[in-house]
């Protein structure tokens, strides 16, 4: 099911299933049978549940640590009755500071505090997050104990293999021939790539938010009307495919682990971050059915044997950018060169196979001839005796002639 048919609710095939949530739209296999809207809702609920469970685990560990700390302090107090008042005051001060810091980070103090306004608390938490994560970034970002790096390489390879996907396949309502729209697309790609250079989770979220706002502006300029959520997600998928952000999975995991939970669960930052996670999940599961392509064409595009047909030069409008025309012309030329190279490589492999078969055939024929007509080496004949020598073996020969001298 394509994004276009899913968004408009058009019945394409009787065998396709409706959304598992029963909203009336068709589900997409890449989204586990949900439509795009229901998939975002389910993903957001799962993300909130995970954050809540992590927070409850942190609170439980905090309580255990406080109980252990209190018990250790009481045992030390019983054994150190001879300490001076100065030492006792120093220990009490240290305990008070630790308890204050722990209470400051606890959920109950953050939510139930009446003395400090919530906006002030959030601002302080952002500053503390910035201070801590800036110094711990190289230790907690993509740590060796996780498989974040492996996931980064997998999604990067996947996006490179999907470089042939066009905006029309994803039903992206963006016309890059409009200069303003093209600028917005470039800015969106720049923002999503810039996310990797930030160290603080809040700053990484800000890059995602800026990217998303550029996408909404591009859709608004193209359609001359406010963009909808169903238009936003396909465009975000296209931006991710076109930009191929570095260490994408590591950045997503880093934000999930260390960002302020309230920021992820509420507000526009959390909404845009959830859509980015949905876009990555869609890319990982994208198949021929998702793009309304046959399996044969999808496999050929994925293997690089060919690419979707580009727009012909004659169909360009007179106001089209010359650089865009030249780019498509170069892409066509590269596609043709790629096809020629594939043919040459296939012919070369065939010639190599023929030469190997011919060599093996000649060797077999020579071996058959040698086995059929074996070579026999006879001993050499005895040398002939000289004529004038004495022949002792054959008495039938006349004696040798003797020279005679005549007088006269």
What is the per-residue pLDDT for 284? 93
Q: Is residue 115 part of a domain?
A: no
* pLDDT tier, 196 (very low <50, low <70, confident <90, very high otherwise): very high
Digit-coded pLDDT (tens) for 74-109? 655 554 444 455 455 555 554 554 454 445 445 444
95 in any annotated domain: no
Within a domain: residue 326? Answer: no
What CATH number corresponds to the domain at position 195? 1.20.1050.80
Report the pLDDT value the prediction gives residue 197, as an integer from 0 to 100. 94
HSE on the CB side for 174, CA within 13 Å?
Answer: 32
In a domain, 205, yes or no: yes
Does residue 347 lie in a domain region?
no
| Residue-level pLDDT at 382 | 64
d(CA 293, CA 162): 13
Instruction: Give the domain extent around 155.
Output: 141-308
Cβ–Cβ < 8 Å for 260, 130? no
pLDDT at 393 over 90: no
Q: Identify whether 159 is part of a domain.
A: yes
Report whether pLDDT(61) > 50.
yes
Burial per residue of 232-258, b for 16 or more beta-carbon CB atoms within 10 angstroms, e otherwise? bbbbbbbbbbbbbbebbbbbbbbbbeb
Q: Percentage of residues in the chain with pLDDT exceeding 90?
A: 34
- Mean of the pLDDT values across residues 320-326? 71
Residue 360 has pLDDT above 80, yes or no: yes
Average confidence score pLDDT of the chain:
78
pLDDT in tens, 116-163: 787 888 888 888 888 999 999 999 999 888 999 999 999 999 999 998
Distance CA 360, CA 354 (A): 10
In a domain, 214, yes or no: yes
User: How does pLDDT run across 169-187, given as a tens digit for each residue?
Assistant: 999 999 988 999 999 999 9
Percent of the chain with pLDDT over 70: 73
Q: What is the pLDDT of residue 28?
A: 64
Q: Once rounded to an integer, what is the mean pLDDT over residues 251-267? A: 88
The answer to whether residue 371 sits within a structural domain is: no
User: Rounded mean pLDDT of 367-395?
Assistant: 69
Q: How far apart are CA 307 and CA 297, in angstroms?
A: 9
Cα–Cα distance for residue pair 260/251, rounded to 1 Å? 15
Q: Tell me what pLDDT residue 83 has.
A: 44
For 181, the token pair is 């729209």
pLDDT at 12: 42
Number of domains in the chain: 1
Q: Which residue has the higher pLDDT, 50 or 117?
A: 117
**Winning range, highest mean pLDDT, from 63-72, 300-309, 339-348:** 339-348
């Amino acid at each position: 099911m394509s994004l276009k048919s899913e968004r408009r609710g058009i019945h394409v095939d009787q065998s396709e299933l409706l959304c598992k949530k029963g909203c009336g739209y068709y589900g997409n296999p890449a989204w586990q049978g949900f439509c795009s809207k229901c998939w975002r809702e389910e993903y957001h609920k799962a993300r909130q549940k995970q954050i809540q469970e992590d927070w409850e685990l942190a609170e439980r560990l905090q309580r255990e640590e406080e109980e252990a700390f209190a018990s250790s302090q009481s045992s030390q107090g019983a054994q150190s009755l001879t300490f001076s008042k100065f030492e006792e005051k120093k220990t009490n001060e240290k305990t008070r500071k630790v308890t204050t810091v722990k209470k400051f980070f606890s959920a109950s103090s953050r939510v139930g505090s009446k003395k400090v306004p919530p906006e002030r608390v959030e601002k302080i938490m952002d500053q503390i997050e910035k201070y801590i994560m800036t110094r711990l970034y190289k230790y907690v970002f993509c740590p060796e104990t996780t498989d974040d790096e492996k996931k980064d390489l997998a999604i990067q390879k996947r996006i490179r293999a999907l470089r042939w996907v066009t905006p029309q396949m994803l039903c992206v309502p963006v016309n890059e021939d409009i200069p303003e729209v093209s600028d917005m697309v470039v800015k969106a790609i720049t923002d999503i790539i810039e996310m990797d250079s930030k160290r603080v989770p809040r700053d990484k979220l800000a890059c995602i938010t800026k990217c998303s706002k550029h996408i909404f502006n591009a859709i608004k300029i193209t359609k001359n009307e406010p963009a909808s959520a169903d238009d936003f997600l396909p465009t975000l998928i296209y931006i991710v495919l076109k930009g191929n952000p570095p260490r994408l999975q590591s950045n997503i995991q880093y934000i999930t682990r260390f960002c302020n939970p309230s920021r992820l669960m509420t507000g526009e930052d959390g909404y845009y971050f959830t859509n980015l996670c949905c876009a990555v999940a869609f890319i990982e599961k994208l198949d021929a059915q998702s793009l309304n392509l046959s399996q044969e064409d999808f496999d050929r595009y994925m293997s690089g044997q060919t690419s979707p047909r580009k727009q012909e030069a004659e169909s360009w409008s007179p106001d089209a950018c010359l650089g865009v025309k030249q780019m498509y012309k170069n892409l066509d030329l590269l596609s043709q060169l790629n096809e020629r190279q594939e043919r040459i490589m296939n012919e070369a492999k065939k010639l190599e196979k023929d030469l190997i078969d011919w060599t093996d055939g000649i060797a077999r024929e020579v071996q058959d001839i040698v086995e059929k007509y074996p070579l026999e080496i006879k001993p050499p004949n005895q040398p002939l005796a000289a004529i004038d020598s004495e022949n002792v073996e054959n008495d039938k020969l006349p004696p040798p002639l003797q020279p005679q001298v005549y007088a006269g």
